Amino acid sequence: MARYRAVPEESKYGTCLAGARRTCLSGIAFRAGVGNGIASLKETEVSQADSGTSDMVAGDDPIAAFAAWLAAAGEKEPNDPNAMALATVDSDGLPDIRMVLLKGVDAAGFVFFTNSESAKGEELAVHPRAALCFHWKSLRRQVRVRGLVSRVSDSEADAYFATRPKDSQIGAWASKQSRPLEGRFALEKEVARFAAKYALATVPRPSHWVGYRLAPLAIEFWRDRPFRLHDRLLYHRENLDAAWRTVKLFP
């Protein structure tokens, strides 16, 4: 049985799970059944696709539409409905991608936190543009986001860092993210060092541990339909001050 463990968050970050529960999903066991070949996969594909002819999303606000889909994912996904692929490019223009967790979303954009000295942090410093992709397999839905990236304020990063478990706070100090590691023992040694340093004290936020906000210029909603005739709806705008426009796309 899936179990939910509540993690204290600032109220604004509760929106990452749509506010319904204001909890984070973690430690959820996932068991995948064994299929019966291609035929059973095709049957599942058709039976689980969204049915009906209603519009995918309602209204002119893609953030509100995203929040509704995220709420549905919070009820169905076996693990981390706020997981997203984050794509950046390096100084040579070579794409890079990894999974991170969404920690807040509002009209200003999508927020995540990381080590600014990591590969993604250095890439964002050179090219402050990125793309996100959410894929909720249980719902057969996907959302893609493209936009401009900036850092959140120090006070915002401090507020979120204070809600993290102490072991995670210590890990932020111990891990030289993305840099060569000579062995697991070297990491565990750093964890032990900072655990001892802050054993009886509040762990401060490292200056390199920061938040980023992606302000969207394009948000595409994708819904699975039978026989690959999927629904795609794109919200886009020319700049952050412009009004959203929508267009349906061929699958």
Residues marked as catalytic? 228
Side chain identity, residue 166? K
- Alpha-carbon distances, residue 122 vs 30, 117, 127, 198 (angstroms): 34, 6, 9, 28
> CA-to-CA distance for 201 and 26, rounded, in angstroms?
26
Residue the block writes with tokens 């054993």? 199
Radius of gyration, alpha carbons of the chain: 20
For residue 99, which of 78, 116, 120 has the smallest C-alpha distance? 120
**Phi, psi (degrees; rounded to nearest 5) at 211:** -110, 150
Q: Is 183 helix (H, G, I), strand (E, B) or coil?
A: coil
Q: How far apart are CA 98 and CA 87, in angstroms?
A: 7
